Amino acid sequence: MLAHRISLVALHAGALEVNPDLPPAKVRESAELLRTTAHQALEELRAPSACCGRRSDDAPPVPQPTLRDIPRLVEQTRRAGAKIDFAMDVSADAPTALGRDAYRIVQEALTNAAKHAPGAATTVRVSGAPEAGCR
């Protein structure tokens, strides 16, 4: 997750670099995205045992992403300048582990697309139903 956030920071910064004539409102929006994404990355760095589900100060478990968080992930990545065709057709909530894994798969795919094919259009499709499996 941390690598994804850092990739988004680099993507946001790169978009600002190659678009020096953006209107001030767009520059402010991009700067806010940079700040927010960097802050989230720092929070993850401050919780070194978050990968184990607990922070080092014995606070409650760190919330893990779910299937419902995928649209937000896609929107954050779009706001960084990625072109994403997105559709999600899931008829029921997935079990916690499955939802988290689906989120991580989409996250890794978006990170790889930004890293290896910057500017290319990306398609994300998430679908599934009980007894039908997921794709």
In whole angstroms, give the CA distance from residue 116 to residue 108.
12
The total number of structural domains in the chain stands at 1
**Mean pLDDT (the chain, rounded):** 81
Q: How confident is the model at residue 14 (pLDDT cuts 50, 70, 90)?
A: confident
Query: Does the structure show a pLDDT above 80 at 49?
Result: no
Sign of CA dihedral 105, 106, 111, 114: positive
Domain at 61, CATH number: 3.30.565
- Is the pLDDT assigned to residue 45 strictly greater than 60? yes
pLDDT value at residue 132: 65
Q: Give a three-class secondary structure readout of 22-64.
A: CCHHHHHHHHHHHHHHHHHHHHHHHCCCHHHCCCCCCCCCCCC
Give buried/exposed letters for 65-78 (b at 16+ CB in 10 A, else e): bbbebbeebbebbe
Each residue of 22-34: pLDDT tens digit?
888 888 888 888 8
Rg (C-alpha) for the chain, rounded Å, is: 16
Q: Tell me which residue of 112, 106, 111 sits closest to 86, measured CA to CA.
A: 106
pTM (two decimals): 0.60
Higher pLDDT, 75 or 16: 75
Give the confidence band of 69 by pLDDT, cuts at 50, 70, 90.
Answer: very high
Q: Is 80 exceeded by the pLDDT of residue 113?
A: yes
Task: Quote the domain boundaries for residue 90.
Answer: 2-134
Please say if the pLDDT value at position 65 is more than 60: yes
